[in-house]
Structure 1
Amino acid sequence: MTSISDTFDQLCALAALSYDETGDTRFESRLLDILNLVKSYPQARDLFVEKFKIMLSSRVTPLEVVEFCMRELQWEEVKCFALALYQPSINPRSHALAGLISAYEEVWPDEDLYRYYSNRSL
């Protein structure tokens, strides 16, 4: 039997593959799979928070995975972690982290990049 953690990791790996393939339209579908898994297991929030933090600290999974999920989930723990990492003069990923932090705002500049968010309001 596959654990929730393993399923999450597998979905993130598939999203990363879709992200890297030019013209692959499955990326948003993969992001929705991840978001739906996380929403389906509210009792595993602590696990998912740690997984998202690991993503923010590594270069393995595109930050768009965290950004997409946090737009809806709005988890403060992840936002605080991203803010702690955000150091424009030191961290080369700060520009991407700024995109993630903007997902918590009422108006998200990247909303139109995803059909899921561009056709609804939070």
Structure 2
Amino acid sequence: MVSFISESETDDQNHSITEEEDEFIEETIGERLWGLTDMFPEIVQNSISVIATFSMRGGKNVIWFTSKAIWITSTSFMMLVLPVMLEIERVTVEEQQLQQQRQILLGPNAAASGYGPSTQGLGALPSMPGPQPKS
């Protein structure tokens, strides 16, 4: 069975679809929620309002506390720990430079054996026995 639809029927269907689209009013989520408040009793509305208020205050307090804690922690680190770390790094670099100088001056085995200025006291090389004065 083949049914034929006339052009006027198709136009009527298209026209009714267009009217439905025109009748659709866009509303925001807030407007839609505000419209739904009438279906809930006043005690539920008040409870939700109190919960939302406390949640907002709690969120603000958490953000405030977190920012203060981060500020205190970071400034304390910079004032107390960072100078110590920089001094340790400076000492380590100086020791590496001294070891490299010893290796250049005394040869490759001098750095490993520990024979050099740091083991001799005042940074002097060991003295060679020289001629003894006659008594």
Q: Give the structure-2-normalised TM-score.
A: 0.18
Larger Cα-atom Rg: 2
Flag the structure with higher helix content: 2
Q: Give the structure-1-normalised TM-score.
A: 0.20
